[in-house]
Amino acid sequence: MRILVTGAGGQLGSDLCRLLDAQSQVDNPRVRAWCGLARSELDLADAAQVRAVIADQARPAKIQGGLVVINTAAWTNVDGAESDEAGAYAVNATGAAHLAAACAQAGAALVHLSTDYVFDGDATKPYETDDPPAPVSVYGRTKLAGEEAVLALCPESYVVRTAWVYGRTGGNFVKTIARLARERDELAVVADQHGSPTWSADLAAGLLDLVTARPAPGVYHCTASGETTWYGFARAIVAALGQDPAKVRPTTTDEFPRPARRPAYSVLSARSWLDAGLRPLRSWDDGFAAAFAEFGAELRG
């Protein structure tokens, strides 16, 4: 097959491209060719450009086992979406619809990345794929609209929800905590939001497993195993920096207001992933330890 990665300049997209480049150096009978496109090369808000790019990618794919598009492009500024819903909708919803329609026309499969923010966070056990969505932020609403468009427009589509992703590229929670730990004697981090910190390279490997196995189309959840809080994650980061994790103190969401409401509980069940015969991602703490051991310089910011 031929794989096209959209949003190739982002955290997950760049890790997917690195993984696919490594795969191209070994004998992988399924992945015959791949291409990664950044936003400057493919703007999902431009329907004509999307159609042209997918058609162009589909032509060589006819002799390469078919085209699979992995869409990691998204508006991810959660707080910024509150003041620019139209901008977030253009990428997360309308852009996803453009891509799904183009994939359907070209006979391509589409893997679309989504988020825990489609849920309200009021649960007390991990969310299943068929639990009813109820987003509480503009970002969550636009991502849910994107999910719905993808599933409606592209017969062979996979919506993969993930959460709390961090990686080598761009800004993220790990780099922010590392910077603040250098600057401050004490850090206050919310302890009433629960989730599964997910190393983007682990998620990239999981997505490659998905497109190689090609289970039934539908909605899947893919995050690191286990759960913690932002406070617990921050303590792990500070400890990895060689500092005393006691400098991190717990606080509450109410004491740390943000423009967009965050789900209090963002843990996603892996049942759909496991039922499809796919390998689970390793635990969040093992993933973080491995990420920091290999890419500590980048994650320190």
Instruction: Give the bridge partners for 158, in sequence order.
Output: 111, 218
Least reliable range by pLDDT among 62-66, 207-211, 239-243, 244-248? 62-66
> Is the four-CA dihedral 16, 21, 26, 30 of positive or negative sign?
positive
- Determine how β-strand 157-162 pairs with β-strand 109-115: parallel
Q: What is the pLDDT of residue 229?
A: 98
Residue 196 near residue 253, CB atoms below 8 Å: no
DSSP for 134-163? ---SHHHHHHHHHHHHHHHH-SSEEEEEE-
CB atoms inside a 10 Å sphere around CB 201: 22
Q: How confident is the model at residue 27 (pLDDT cuts 50, 70, 90)?
A: low
Looking only at Cα atoms, what is the longest distance across the chain?
59
Give the residue-averaged pLDDT of 54-65.
94
Residue 251 near residue 43, CB atoms below 8 Å: no
Domains, the chain, with CATH or none: 2-172+196-226+266-284 (3.40.50.720)
Q: Mean pLDDT across the chain, nearest whole number?
A: 96
Q: What is the pLDDT of residues 215-230, one digit of tens each?
A: 999 999 999 999 999 9
Q: What is the pLDDT of residue 219?
A: 98
Q: What is the pLDDT of residue 159?
A: 98
Active-site residue, from 89, 139, 158, 166: 139
Q: How confident is the model at residue 26 (pLDDT cuts 50, 70, 90)?
A: low
Least reliable range by pLDDT among 60-64, 113-117, 238-242? 60-64
Q: What is the pLDDT of residues 276-291, one digit of tens each?
A: 999 999 999 999 999 9
Dist CA 258 CA 254 (whole Å):
9
Q: What is the pLDDT of residue 221?
A: 98
Q: What is the pLDDT of residue 28?
A: 61
For the question of residue 139 being annotated catalytic, the response is yes
Q: How confident is the model at residue 29 (pLDDT cuts 50, 70, 90)?
A: low
Give the residue-averaged pLDDT of 6-14.
96
Q: Does residue 23 surpass a pLDDT of 90?
A: no
Q: What is the pLDDT of residue 31?
A: 83
Percentage of the chain exceeding pLDDT 70: 98
